[in-house]
Structure 1
Amino acid sequence: MVSLTAASVVPVSRAMALLSVGCLAAALMAYLLVRQLVKQRRPPGFPPGPSPIPIIGNIFSLATEPHVFLKRQSEVHGQIFSLDLGGIMTVVLNGYDCVKECLYHQSEVFADRPSLPLFKKMTKMGGLLNSKYGKGWNDHRKLACNSFRYFGSGLRLFERKISEECMFFVDAIDEHKGKPFNPKHLVTNAVSNITNLIIFGQRFTYDDRDFQHMIELFSENVELAVSGWALLYNAFPWIEYMPFGKHQKLFRNAMEVYDFLLEVIKRFSHGRVPHVPRHYVDAYLDELEQNSGDPSSSFSYENLIYSVGELIIAGTETTTNTLRWAMLYMALYPNIQERVHREIDSVLTNGRAPTLEDKHKMPFVEAVLHEILRFCNIVPLGIFRATSQEAKVNGYTIPKGTMVITNLYSVHFDEKYWNEPGVFSPQRFLDSSGNFVRREAFLPFSLGKRHCLGEQLARMEMFLFFTTLLQRFHLQFPPGTVPTVTPKLGMTLQPKHYSICAIRRQQKVPNS
């Protein structure tokens, strides 16, 4: 009898244990579900928005052409509305009036960065681009601005360096002898070298395989950073422990890039003389040494790596994609290209190389470049921002720390400021006399305290590369082909791969 009783007790105990574990798991799931649903409740006075799906919110709405989706939603909910990105309450700004009100009139309020798990994982909210608004960001931005001024766009000598890179660029194109080629590789190399001169004091050759690989990883991460997996990671950071998903590729790429940058920084800081900086890396190391005893200082080797990487990608992506779109649209609109040729030839007599002083003499070239930036929307959603304090906009209350998306695409397609915005027309930047005119609702470099610090340099590069290219070549597609103008989605909108023929024009041009 005793043995029977003992035998019957064991199964009951196991059943009870399993039941207890099941109850605990169910309770935990219920708690997490309720916690998630509470996070998804809109605060009082918060802007309205599209209805979210429980748990995941509106994440999947941003899977394809998010800038277009957000502009359409603004027609339903107004210029300022909210999204639920898996419990991350987000405000979206649409249209020029709304963006100007927030980024210009309330610049400091909208100058922070959201504390997203992705940013924390990638840069620990340090460096320059993704750092929180405060002393650390101010110190890093001031150093970067001074470096761009002292080693770059503030120097007359630097214009000559850009012109030299332009010649390397067109000579490399000339090697294709008018046959079809994909311009992405050459454009990316040429543009990145301008930033490299400021950061490292030296350019990289177009066949430097290590640097090429790093740029490719950067470009891939620009796409992955706004993929569905990245958005899911921000909402549910525990998926980091899943062995699959594009977010894992993003993290691997970042680690490989950081290792490479560390070696490059060591190489180019060799022979450094304190307080006699040759480039940005030297200037940063000076700041690091000067602030070594200050516990509040944000200068560190780790933030140096993050800052260098961010400056390289920021200085490369926008200008590279602008020039790639410009080449595509010149071939797509040969009549516009012909007018560009005529203007260049009339100003650059005897085939002399272009200079920045020629800019005001080429209003149509300026109009074309501005229309490329407007129409192609290189960075359609800018870089995500956050409120540094509670904000009041259009009668709504936005709590401190709320993530903010600025839909710059909606600014450049704002019917209030642009006539037929869906039509590619450089003429909109010219007056009746053919003079170039600036347009108010033109914000490709964003606005406010977080606007692009390399804007002046980017404008210099775009003009000199574009005029040098069109001075020497006529651009056309291979016979029987017309590439798509549907962009490749990511943090930037870049053209999908295309081939083009650069035919040497019958004109005297300067030797390399």
Structure 2
Amino acid sequence: MVSLKCRSLMPVAGAEAQLAVAGLAAVLLAFLLVRQLVKQRRPPGFPPGPSPIPVIGNIFSLATEPHVFLKKQSEVHGRIFSLDLGGIMTVVLNGYDCVKECLYHQSDKFADRPSLPLFKKMTKMGGLLNCKYGKGWFEQRKLACNSFRYYGSSQKLFEKRITEECMFFVDAIDKHKGKAFNPKHLVTNAVSNITNLVIFGHRFAYDDCNFQHMIELFSENVELAVSGWALLYNAFPWIEYLPFGKHQKLFRNAAEVYDFLWKVINTYSQDRVPRVPRHYVDAYLDELEQNRGNPNSSFSFENLIYSVGELIIAGTETTTNTLRWAVLYMAMYPNIQERVHKEIDSVLSNGRPPSMEDKHRMPYVEAVLHEILRFCNIVPLGIFRATSQDATVSGYTIPKGTMVITNLYSVHFDEKYWTDPGVFSPERFLDSSGNFVRREAFLPFSLGKRHCVGEQLARMEMFLFFTTLMQRFHLHFPSGTVPTVTPKLGMTLQPKPYSICAVRRQ
């Protein structure tokens, strides 16, 4: 009898346990929901913005053409407004005046990086680009700036090395004998080799499969880093434990790239002589040795790998996409291409290769490159920033640690500073006498403390690669085809794959 009675109680006890677990789960879910909704409340004095969806906020508003969406929202909510990215309160800056006020006049206050779960996962907030604003960032940036100056743009010898790479580049194009090909592979390899010379003192052959694979992973991660999955991961880091999602691909790519970079760093530092650096890696290892035992030093093998990866991405993606857009637009506007050819021919007599000394005598070439940078908006939202201290802008209060998006697209399409900004027109960078004119609201390399480290080198590359290419070839699309100019979205705006015919000029 006792045994039977116990058996009858077992289902009841099991049901009670299930109810208790369900109740606990419901309480936990309610707690998390309330906590999320509290995070989504705008602080006092915070800029207004579009109404968020509960829990996920405005994340899905950034799924397609976020730069265009943000500019349109500025017409409703003002040049400075806020977004809720799943509980991450964010301020968006639009238009040249607003961006200049924050990044230039309050440069220190807008020089930090947000402590996003994605940044923490990928670089532990170390390296160079994602490093928090402070002593570590100053150390890393100073070394990078000196390296790009000493081993790059300030050396006449380095200009010669860029010219040599230009020859490898056009000779590789020549092999297609005027037939259609996709220029992405050759442009990417040529441009990345300039950065490689600064970082490793070495270039990679265009058929180096290992390096080519690494560049492809970099390019893929540039797209994945601003995908919907990446934004969701920042808002809800627990999705890391889901076995699916593009964020998992992002992490796998990064791990593979870091392994490859470690091998390359070891290879090109083997013959190193301490305190006689030949390139960035040597200089970094010198700093690491000199600061060994210093617990406050930011120099480490881990940060070296992160910094090298970031410099390769930054040095390759922007210039590569600028040149790919340039090729596309030259074929799309034959009249502009013809004028470029005439100016190059008038300056470079007897087919001699271009040099930086020729730049001031080619105002139209300069105007074309500047208009491509403006019109195509290679990095439309820059790299996300954060406030390093409380800031006040246009009467609004922005607390310390707030994420900040600088909409550089809105700067380059600011009707206050650009007439007909939606029209591709190199002439806007020329005066009535045909001389090149700098324009104030032109910020492709951003502004302030976090402006692009390799700006001068990038400008050298763009001019020398573009003029060498246009000196030798006439560009046109294969018969019956006209590529789309709608960009492929990511951290950078790049052209969708297209084919071009490069016919040797006589």
Q: For 1:6 and 1:374, locate their aligned partners in 2 and report how far apart those are by CA, in whole Å.
A: 80
Q: By how many angstroms is 1:154 displaced?
A: 1.1
Q: For 2:8 and 2:36, locate their aligned partners in 1 and report how far apart those are by CA, in whole Å.
A: 42
Q: Does 1:281 align with 2:284?
A: no
Q: Which amino acid aligns with 1:463?
A: F
Q: For 2:400 and 2:270, locate their aligned partners in 1 and report how far apart those are by CA, in whole Å.
A: 44
Number of matched residues?
506
Q: For 1:485 and 1:190, locate their aligned partners in 2 and report how far apart those are by CA, in whole Å.
A: 23
Q: By how many angstroms is 1:12 displaced?
A: 1.9
Q: Which residue number in structure 2 is paired with residue 393 of structure 1?
A: 393
Q: Does 1:323 align with 2:323?
A: yes
Secondary structure of residue in 2 paired with 1:444? coil
Q: Which amino acid aligns with 1:221?
A: N
Q: Which amino acid aligns with 1:112?
A: D
Q: Which residue number in structure 2 is paired with residue 436 of structure 1?
A: 436
Q: For 1:23 and 1:171, locate their aligned partners in 2 and report how far apart those are by CA, in whole Å.
A: 71
Q: Which residue number in structure 1 is paired with residue 473 of structure 2?
A: 473
Secondary structure of residue in 1 paired with 2:485? coil
Q: For 1:128 and 1:405, locate their aligned partners in 2 and report how far apart those are by CA, in whole Å.
A: 19
Q: For 2:496 and 2:3, locate their aligned partners in 1 and report how far apart those are by CA, in whole Å.
A: 76
Q: By how many angstroms is 1:374 displaced?
A: 0.1
Secondary structure of residue in 2 paired with 1:152? helix
Q: For 1:465 and 1:11, locate their aligned partners in 2 and report how far apart those are by CA, in whole Å.
A: 78
Q: Which residue number in structure 2 is paired with residue 270 of structure 1?
A: 270
Moved more, 11-20 or 305-314: 11-20
Q: Which residue number in structure 2 is paired with residue 461 of structure 1?
A: 461
Q: For 2:18 and 2:175, locate their aligned partners in 1 and report how far apart those are by CA, in whole Å.
A: 73
Q: Which residue number in structure 1 is paired with residue 218 of structure 2?
A: 218
Runs of 4+ in structure 1 deviating by more than 6 angstroms, as ranges, are none
Let me know the Cα RMSD of the aligned residues.
0.6
Q: For 1:327 and 1:6, locate their aligned partners in 2 and report how far apart those are by CA, in whole Å.
A: 82
What is the percentage of aligned positions where both structures have the same residue? 86
Q: Does 1:408 align with 2:408?
A: yes
The 5 Å alignment of 1:351-370 reads 351-370=351-370
Secondary structure of residue in 1 paired with 2:92? strand
Q: For 1:463 and 1:100, locate their aligned partners in 2 and report how far apart those are by CA, in whole Å.
A: 27
Q: Which residue number in structure 2 is paired with residue 379 of structure 1?
A: 379
Q: For 1:150 and 1:4, locate their aligned partners in 2 and report how far apart those are by CA, in whole Å.
A: 88
Q: Which residue number in structure 1 is paired with residue 11 of structure 2?
A: 11
Q: By how many angstroms is 1:113 displaced?
A: 0.2
TM-score normalised by length of structure 1: 0.98
Q: By how many angstroms is 1:322 displaced?
A: 0.2
Q: By how many angstroms is 1:5 displaced?
A: 3.3
Q: By how many angstroms is 1:8 displaced?
A: 2.9
Structure 2: unaligned runs, 5 residues or longer = none
Q: Which residue number in structure 1 is paired with residue 132 of structure 2?
A: 132
Q: Does 1:167 align with 2:139?
A: no
Q: Which residue number in structure 2 is paired with residue 242 of structure 1?
A: 242
Q: Which residue number in structure 2 is paired with residue 31 of structure 1?
A: 31
Q: By how many angstroms is 1:14 displaced?
A: 1.4
Q: Which residue number in structure 1 is paired with residue 192 of structure 2?
A: 192
Q: Does 1:290 align with 2:297?
A: no
Structure 1: unaligned runs, 5 residues or longer = 507-512
Q: Which amino acid aligns with 1:56?
A: I
Q: For 1:256 and 1:299, locate their aligned partners in 2 and report how far apart those are by CA, in whole Å.
A: 22
* CA offsets 1:349-383 (integer angstroms, 9 cap, x no match): 11111010110100000000000000000000000
Q: Which residue number in structure 2 is paired with residue 339 of structure 1?
A: 339
Q: For 1:62 and 1:499, locate their aligned partners in 2 and report how far apart those are by CA, in whole Å.
A: 30
Q: By how many angstroms is 1:92 displaced?
A: 0.3
Q: For 1:6 and 1:251, locate their aligned partners in 2 and report how far apart those are by CA, in whole Å.
A: 53
Q: Which residue number in structure 1 is paired with residue 307 of structure 2?
A: 307
Q: For 1:26 and 1:216, locate their aligned partners in 2 and report how far apart those are by CA, in whole Å.
A: 45
Q: Which residue number in structure 2 is paired with residue 154 of structure 1?
A: 154
Q: Which amino acid aligns with 1:135?
A: K
Q: For 2:104 and 2:6, locate their aligned partners in 1 and report how far apart those are by CA, in whole Å.
A: 78
Q: For 2:237 and 2:7, locate their aligned partners in 1 and report how far apart those are by CA, in whole Å.
A: 46
